[in-house]
Structure formats: C-alpha cells, structure tokens
Amino acid sequence: MNPLTFAARRLGAALIILLILIATMFTLSHLSNTDPAHAYLGAGASKAAVAAERVKLGLNLPITTQFLHYVGNLLHGNLGVSYRTRNPVTQDLAEYLPATMELAFYAIILALLLGLALGIATAARWRGARILKFVMVSGASAPLFLLALLGILLFYGHLGWLPATGRTSIPNPPTGPTGFLTIDAILAGRFNVLLNALQHLIMPATVLAIGPAVSIGRVLRGSLVTVLREDYVRTARSKGLRDRAVLLRHALRNALGPALSMTGLQAGLLLAGDVVVEQIFAWPGIGYYAAQSIPVGDFPAISGVTLVLGLFYVLINALVDILQRVADPRVRA
C-alpha cells in the first residue's frame, strides 16, 4: 500500500475512534448524577428557574438532538462551562494546556532516551545486566506518587537542590508565543528563567518518564536480542567488528521499530500519570485542573480534560504508525 493511502486510512480510523470517545463522554454526561441545571444555579434555585435553565441548556430535547448539539458544540470548541471556575472549559483548558504540553514533551523525550539506554544496556553482555533488570522490575512496580514523594523528600527537603512546586519561581516569566516556558525564555533572552524552568522540570518529568522508560527498555531489549541472532549480525561480527559497533550501528536500527510503537502506547500511561504528578508538584497544567475538579464533581471540566488527552493519545499513536510505515519498508508488506 502506498504510504499516503495508508496515512489517510490510519487517520480515518483515528477519526472513528475519536467519535467513539465523544459518544462515550456524551453517555457519561447523562449518567452523571449531578444535574447541570442544579449545578449552575446552586442548591437554593427555584423549580421554575431550574426548568428554565434546563430549556436553556437544551436538556429537554430528544437525546439524539442533544447528541448532535453536543458534537456540533465540540466542533466549535465549546466544551460547556465548568461548575467550579464558572469559565468556559475551553478557556480554562487553553490556559492550563501549555504547561502540560511542555511537561509531557520533556517526559516523552526523557522516557525515550532512558528506554534506549536501558534496552541497550540490558541486551549487551556485561555483568551489570542482571542488576539492571532487577532495577527495571522495581521501576515498573513503583507507584508514581512514591517516586515523586521520595524525590521531593531527597532533592528538595534533604539536599535542597531542586524546587518542589510550580513551573518557575521567577516573577513575571515571559508568556507566549509558544507557551513552552523553556522556549519562550530563550526567545525573550532571559536565560535565568530558562535555567529556573529547567530546574522545575527535572523532577516531574523524570518521575513521569520512569514507568514508560522501563516498558520501552524491555521491548527494545526483546527486539535487540532477536535481531542479534540474525545472520547479518554474525557476518558483521565475523568481519571483526567490535561488539559495541555491531550493537549500536547494525542491530539497533533494525530493532528500533517495536520500541517506537511502545513509546506511542506509553504516551497513554504517561498522560494518565500526568494527573497525579501535576497534583503533587502543583504543576499548573490540565492534570492539575482535572485533579482540582474531581473532589467537587465538576464533570464538564473532567470531560474536557479527558477529550483533550484522548485526542492527543489517538493522534500520537496514528503518527507513530504512519512514521514507522515511512521509515521501515518491511512494515509496508
């Protein structure tokens, strides 16, 4: 199949999946035990006012019409109004999203690098490989909040090397044009902000990256071990190349595919963990927004966050599939 046709098909599938997600969220909003009309008007509202609000919100219409309205509103970027902040959810998300994007971006890069290192180190023949495998099982078993708490205890409480909360401690940081504080700081020429932002990023990004890194490392190790048994690797060895050159130059390229797919899949785990990590580190992203919305049952806000995270997840995985198709001719068969 032509790569372009494949890309179009893959994106079509992604679209259907997103529709299913939207239908799920619509169903959930109707299952929700909070009546939106009551939530907006407060407990003391009169019956007439609630009835009028229900009409205003379109809750008296047939369910199919409501669904079409719901989809139409989504396409216009209208996700409803948050019960808690009383702002349109879209506005809240726009405010909180850049921080999450930045954190997730660095966490995924870090997970990929760490995963590569772990995969190569455990596939190579040396004494530390066994110990490293044990460390990896531990990393995969540690709840995010344990890692986060231990990190704060050690690097903030005990050593005082790293800050524990927020994106930056410098007042009036540059805002825009990208929303990534690290990039905006470079563009504005304020390198003290860049340094400070990076310090704030280290702990949350590392905590988020460890779980996915272990999964990526395991998959990479598996495919490396398989590739290392192939004939061309033996040829490379027998023509006198050193182990390291064989591993890094010859085997790694061909073993990378499954690890990249895993990175896409792990993005989902990372996004779910993001909610926990942002709450612990008071990182002003959509995970923090969601965590604040959960105790008060602010369903429009939570549903908005779920839709955005779901959209990212589906797009990232479609992109990984398409890229792999382009990069590795063997997948095209």
Contact residues toward other proteins (CB under 8 A) are: 13-14, 16-17, 20-21, 24-25, 28-29, 31-33, 137-138, 140-146, 149-150, 152-153, 157, 268-269, 271-273, 275-276, 279-280, 290-291, 293-295, 297, 299, 302-303, 306, 309-310, 313-314, 317
Q: Is the dihedral of CA 41, 43, 44, 48 positive or negative?
A: positive
CB of 44 to other proteins, least distance (A): 22
Q: Which is nearer to other proteins, 184 or 278 (CB)?
A: 278
CB of 122 to other proteins, least distance (A): 14
How far is Cα 167 from Cα 164, in angstroms, rounded to an integer? 9
Report which secondary-structure segment, H or E, holds 318. Answer: helix 299-327
CB of 129 to other proteins, least distance (A): 16
CB of 185 to other proteins, least distance (A): 29
Q: Which is nearer to other proteins, 174 or 204 (CB)?
A: 204
**CA separation, residue 269 to residues 209, 222, 275 (Å):** 10, 21, 11
Q: Which is nearer to other proteins, 152 or 236 (CB)?
A: 152
CB of 3 to other proteins, least distance (A): 21
Q: Which is nearer to other proteins, 99 or 271 (CB)?
A: 271
Q: Exposed, middle or buried: residue 48 (CB in 10 Å: 0-12, 13-18, 19+)?
A: exposed
CB of 305 to other proteins, least distance (A): 8
Closest CA to 22 of 61, 74, 90: 74
CB of 316 to other proteins, least distance (A): 10
Q: Which is nearer to other proteins, 178 or 226 (CB)?
A: 226
Contact, 255 vs 265, CB < 8 A? no
**Alpha carbon 107 to its chain's center:** 8
Q: Which is nearer to other proteins, 1 or 137 (CB)?
A: 137
Rg of the chain's alpha carbons, rounded to an integer? 24
CB of 297 to other proteins, least distance (A): 7
Task: Evaluate the omega torsion of the peptide bond into residue 98 and state whether it is cis, within 30 degrees of 0.
Answer: no
How far is Cα 33 from Cα 52, in angstroms, rounded to an integer? 20
Contact, 259 vs 216, CB < 8 A? yes
* HEC profile of 117-129: HHHHHHHCCCCHH
How far is Cα 61 from Cα 54, in angstroms, rounded to an integer? 9
Q: Which is nearer to other proteins, 255 or 267 (CB)?
A: 267
Contact, 278 vs 287, CB < 8 A? yes
Q: Which is nearer to other proteins, 91 or 292 (CB)?
A: 292
CB of 27 to other proteins, least distance (A): 9
Alpha helices in 124-190 (DSSP H): 128-141, 144-151, 181-187
Tokens of 51: 């009835």
Q: Which is nearer to other proteins, 248 or 272 (CB)?
A: 272
